[in-house]
Structures are given as C-alpha cells and as structure tokens.
Structure 1
C-alpha cells in the first residue's frame, strides 16, 4: 500500500516526533490497515447480532453518527439527515432499540453485512480517516432488503484500543424514499 496523507508536521509513522512520546498507531500502513479492518469487521458483527451495548462502547465521548439524506455532501446542520446523532443521542438510540418496542424491529431483523474496499485516507496524531464500502442484507417480516453504503470513519486510538469518533454512512440510494431504517446501519 502506498503512503497515506498525514497532517502538517507529523511523521509518516503517525507521531509528531516528540521525545519519549508513546506511539499508539502501528508503525507501518499494512499493520494499521489490518488492525482497522479487524475493527470494522467486529463493528459489523456487533451491529448484525444486535449487540447494542458492545456497539455503543465503540464510540468516543465526542462522537458523531451520521446518515445523510438527499445526497452525500450536504450540511447536516442545515439540511435533513436520516440520522445525525451526537454521543448522547447515540445512547438514546441504543436505549430505544433495547426496549423491544420498536415495532419495525419486532422481531429484530436478521442482518448480514459485508465490509470491503477499506482505505486508509489520512493519519493525524492518534486519529485515522478511513473509507469502506458496506453491503447489508436485511431479512424481516416485511421481506428482504439490500442496502449499499459508502462509509467514512474517523477512528481514534485510545489506550491502545480503536474508538469511533465519526461514522458517516452514505447510503447509495439516499436520494429515494427510505421506508424504514430501524436497525444500526
């Protein structure tokens, strides 16, 4: 894999060069990519198996979970989004899913996700920007639905673990009516 962009002043290895500074990111891009892929695969499994508490634990306190509507480059502060959650709202969403009173999720959808085309985009200190494609198969009482998305992530290494700072799920068909999206996408 070729070199990825880094912020001004940062070395290719992700550190800023300060003496004695701990290096939270793997030194080489191949190791970093492998670790991030494993994280994204785990996140997909947690979503597919409705492991809500474990999925919620993947987020930082300053997180944003965003699913745009009517295009991919909209301003979520001024235009409608399917989901635009801060960290507090992510917790509320998880609490609602756990009640069992989401009628479109009674019984919960059977889900299977494929994550592919994972790309490292940028390193900045202890954060990495990543892109990946997702294909989600949903089976429930209404029938079968297939969802495709181009995801963008901002991941942060915190005490040696990867956490999500930002996740943008760009549904390929977000310009069309979406009848229900009541699972973790």
Structure 2
C-alpha cells in the first residue's frame, strides 16, 4: 500500500505506520500469542518493558450516555498489573500447588484486526487489535473470551516491547471458573 492509500484510511491526527513496520508489529503480536499458547511465560514476560502497565478494566453495563468514564482507572479491574505483578502470576502458574492449572489449561490465542500508528513519543507505536482466547481444560470445561486490546509498543535496543496494554473483553459477566490467562 503506498503512502497516498495509507493516508486515505487514517483518521485525523493519526499517523499510520508503513507496511514494513506494520508487518513487523503483526509478527511480534503473533509470536506473543504462540508463546502464551505454549506456556512459555518467562519468554512472554521478556516482551514487556520494566515499566509495563497491564490493565483489564471491569466491564460495567451502563447507558450509552454514562459510558464515558466506564474504563477510567479506579473503577475496578480484573488486572491492574506492573512487571512485578506479572512475575508473581507467572511464578504461581509454575508452582506444583497451582491446582487451577493441574491439569493445565490449553489455550489458543487468535489475534486479528491489527492497526498500528505512530505515537507522540519517538520510538513508540499505538497498536489496536482484537483477540479470541479459546480455553479448554479437563474434559468438558471450555471458555471463549473475546475482546479488544490497545497497546503501546516501544523500541528497546532494536526490539519491540510492550509498555502498556489495555484489555477490554466483550463479556460483562465472566462465566469462566477462573481467569488464569494472559491476553
């Protein structure tokens, strides 16, 4: 896609990334999903910056007019993690006493609708995507979690790293027995 065609899709104020950068970002997100699906959590954690903010606000069913502050910090969250919190969650998954993961949950993460733009900060990108997380555990426990992500990816020593992640699921009520997953 040439620059004129890219500009056609941009919303006022957005600077869409070039095709090579978009491909690089997509491949980064696909690799991340593969690491999660294969329970390579320590390698997944290496994809985060030390100042990561990993946030999944709770969903509130509200009238459209009342929704403006629905995802504001302080309204409750399933996850509101920094790097240390993510380290602790991973350490917990790896413990023999983690009964919620014995037998382990099988995951399939599908990432799609990736859209990337330049951030106001040099070396950072704002990336939007949608995900499907299909989880299967035991013989009959199956969960389907769907949502959107808003990421800030940062160049660190020539490699992309996740500096911010906001996860918004579509379900207002989680029917899963647990939420022992990363998105």
Q: Report the TM-score range of the alignment, normalised by the length of the smaller protein.
A: 0.7 to 0.9
Q: Deviations over 1:27-81 (max 9, x none)?
A: x6101110000000000011111101100111101101111112494223x2210
State the Cα distance separating 1:6 from its structure 2 match.
10
Q: Where do 5+ consecutive residues of structure 1 fail to align?
A: 14-27
Structure 2 match to 1:91: 87
Q: TM-score, normalised by structure 1?
A: 0.81
Point out 4+ residue stretches in structure 1 off by more than 2 angstroms: 3-7, 121-124
Within the candidate set 57, 77, 86, 1:68 is matched to 57
Q: Deviations over 1:116-170 (max 9, x none)?
A: 0000143331000000011111110251111111011100011110000011111
Question: 1:102 and 2:91 equivalent?
Answer: no
Using a 3 Å threshold, how does the CA distance of structure 1 residues 6 and 38 change in structure 2: closer, same or farther?
A: farther
Q: The residue matched to 2:25 in structure 1 has which SS?
A: helix
Query: What is the number of equivalent residue pairs in this alignment?
Result: 166
Structure 1 match to 2:113: 117
Using a 3 Å threshold, how does the CA distance of structure 1 residues 158 and 5 change in structure 2: closer, same or farther?
A: farther
Structure 1 match to 2:36: 47
CA-based RMSD: 2.3
Q: Where do 5+ consecutive residues of structure 2 fail to align?
A: 61-66
Q: Tell me if structure 2 keeps the 8 A contact 1:52–1:98.
A: no
Q: Tell me if structure 1 keeps the 8 A contact 2:59–2:169.
A: no
